[in-house]
Amino acid sequence: MALRHQAEGETGDAELARLWHAADSLHTNFYEAWATPELVKDAVKDVKPSSRS
């Protein structure tokens, strides 16, 4: 089971799973550089604590 789905299954929190996916994508992109700058900016907005309510 992927960690994203495991996080949602264990907590019942779909938002946590979505944020996990965004953070994991940023981590992967750091090494592989596949995302466009716009995708990176959007993912950072999602996972940065001050950008969420």
Give the pLDDT score at 4. 57
- pLDDT category of residue 3 using cuts at 50, 70 and 90: low
47 or 1, higher pLDDT: 47
* pLDDT at site 19: 87
The pTM score is 0.67
Bigger pLDDT: 6 vs 27: 27
Confirm if 25 and 43 have CB atoms less than 8 A apart. yes
- Number of other CB atoms surrounding residue 35 within 10 Å: 16
Rounded to the nearest 10°, the torsion over CA 18, 35, 51, 6 is 20
Q: Where are the domains of the chain?
A: 20-53
